[in-house]
Chains A and B, each alone.
Chain A
């Protein structure tokens, strides 16, 4: 069993689907941070079997809500003085840009590559995002 040391101050992004940590690392642009970042892949999990975890050290400002768009099961724990001070509940953002991609071949984004892919949350309960241009519902299989 690999041990990664505790965190004095920072964020633990937990319950990431195994294999997805690097996608989230890239999406959050963690490579640009100066602080210490640990990526734990394939950690054992009673709930998930295997999972990924990311630990980020230090105070910083990150828009973590968009993680809820990528994976609703992700949990975020804020750590201060070695203890969890907040279990952050991720809220689905009203609008996301260049996170989801519209795959509708009839959408204007299919021919104008420079347009940002903008999606709006139209049904928070059912987690429905629709393309701001063609209003097509985003489907996971479109990822």
Chain B
């Protein structure tokens, strides 16, 4: 029984296989339209989510499967005090695979310990969100044609942004990847990530506080939201927030073949005049997310290599 709780639960080879399968699905979606016929995906969402839940449901429907589930802790037996372990034991009787989102970190891991069906972590608090990482990897590999020898800029909240941490952890496994980390001092990447991942592996990276000065170096610019509540005081927020907003003007010295990613939702960190720029890839990224999830569902159900 395979579960995907962390992006690193998948080896590089397994990740590459899933990305390759997602590519095949993109080229020929009709071929996979009945691949999961008779199968059911349970979406167990203990907190609201728009994109992730609908993306999972779209993925299963695209594969000819069906979905069932709950969309908040209030509408499931957690509100009566049922444990995650008991819930997943029951869900295992109803569905073939489960995507779980939970506000508490480690809840999907607990589920995987008691589950009779594959569990996919669909986001556990500020911890892991492996299908976002697969989405990011698929987007980068499709837009750039590779995952190695890239310079990736991460901009914004690098301290609390789980998507940033997960993508860094996944990308360091590919050769020749460099990182440019653009954030205010208060929101730099956590020490453990710097020491245990970047320094420990001898990865090339630099930390800067201005986006425009590093723009020409980047193959990928991964934007994240700088949230007001992360700052100690309002003056710091007001002073710093504009440094981390991407505008059409700031893109002037970016490469033509650079691409802009964002896990969404976007608030104001990417100005809307960037949306029409051909380098803006954040809405395409959401589409790639469906293909990545389709490939992961097929893989975990053991249907990846089958003829349909």
Using a CB–CB distance below 8 Å, which chain A residues touch chain B?
104, 106-112, 114-115, 122-123, 131-137
- Which stretch (B18-26, B101-109, B226-234) binds chain A? B101-109
Q: How long is the Cα–Cα vector from A122 to B110 in the complex, in angstroms? A: 20
Q: Which of A104, A112, A135 contacts B83 (CB 8 A)?
A: A112
Further pairs besides A106-B104, A133-B107: 19, Cβ < 8 Å: A104-B105, A106-B105, A106-B127, A107-B105, A107-B106, A108-B102, A108-B104, A108-B106, A108-B107, A108-B110, A108-B124, A110-B104, A112-B84, A115-B110, A123-B196, A132-B106, A132-B109, A135-B105, A137-B192
The smallest beta-carbon distance between A37 and chain B, in angstroms, is 37
Tell whether B126 is near chain A: CB-to-CB under 8 Å. Answer: yes
Task: List 6 contacting pairs A-B, 8 Å CB cutoff, sorted by A.
Answer: A106-B103, A108-B106, A108-B109, A112-B83, A115-B110, A136-B105
Q: How long is the Cα–Cα vector from A7 to B45 in the complex, in angstroms? A: 60
Tell whether B125 is near chain A: CB-to-CB under 8 Å. Answer: yes
Residue of B nearest to A123 (CB): B196
Prevailing SS type, chain A contact patch: loop
The smallest beta-carbon distance between A106 and chain B, in angstroms, is 5
**B83 lies within 8 A of A106 (CB):** no
Q: Which of A111, A122, A135 contacts B104 (CB 8 A)?
A: A111
Prevailing SS type, chain B contact patch: mixed
Residues on A with C-beta less than 8 A from B125 are: 106, 134
Residues on A with C-beta less than 8 A from B84 are: 108, 112
Residue of B nearest to A104 (CB): B105
Residue of A nearest to B125 (CB): A106
Q: How long is the Cα–Cα vector from A123 to B200 in the complex, in angstroms? A: 11
Residues on B with C-beta less than 8 A from A104 are: 105
Please report the number of residue pairs spanning A and B whose Cβ atoms sit closer than 8 angstroms. 47
The smallest beta-carbon distance between A135 and chain B, in angstroms, is 7
**B106 lies within 8 A of A109 (CB):** yes
**B110 lies within 8 A of A134 (CB):** no
Residues on B with C-beta less than 8 A from A115 are: 110
**A131 lies within 8 A of B196 (CB):** no
Q: How long is the Cα–Cα vector from A122 to B193 in the complex, in angstroms? A: 13
Residues on B with C-beta less than 8 A from A112 are: 83-85, 110
Q: Which of B83, B105, B192, B196 contacts A134 (CB 8 A)?
A: B105
Residues on B with C-beta less than 8 A from A108 are: 84, 102, 104-107, 109-110, 124
Residues on B with C-beta less than 8 A from A114 are: 83
**A133 lies within 8 A of B106 (CB):** yes
Q: Max chain B CB contacts within 10 Å: which of A107, A123, A136?
A: A107
Residue of A nearest to B108 (CB): A108
**B105 lies within 8 A of A133 (CB):** yes
Question: CB-CB contacts of B66-109 with A at 8 A, as 1s and 0s?
Answer: 00000000000000000111000000000000000011111101
Residue of B nearest to A115 (CB): B110
Residues on A with C-beta less than 8 A from B110 are: 108, 112, 115, 133
Q: How long is the Cα–Cα vector from A135 to B126 in the complex, in angstroms? A: 11
Q: How long is the Cα–Cα vector from A101 to B69 in the complex, in angstroms? A: 33
The smallest beta-carbon distance between B5 and chain A, in angstroms, is 10
Residues on B with C-beta less than 8 A from A131 are: 106
Residues on B with C-beta less than 8 A from A123 are: 196
Residues on A with C-beta less than 8 A from B192 are: 137
Q: Max chain A CB contacts within 10 Å: which of B84, B105, B192?
A: B105
Question: CB-CB contacts of B117-157 with A at 8 A, as 1s and 0s?
Answer: 00000001111000000000000000000000000000000
Q: Max chain A CB contacts within 10 Å: which of B83, B85, B104?
A: B104
Residues on A with C-beta less than 8 A from B196 are: 122-123
The smallest beta-carbon distance between B48 and chain A, in angstroms, is 17
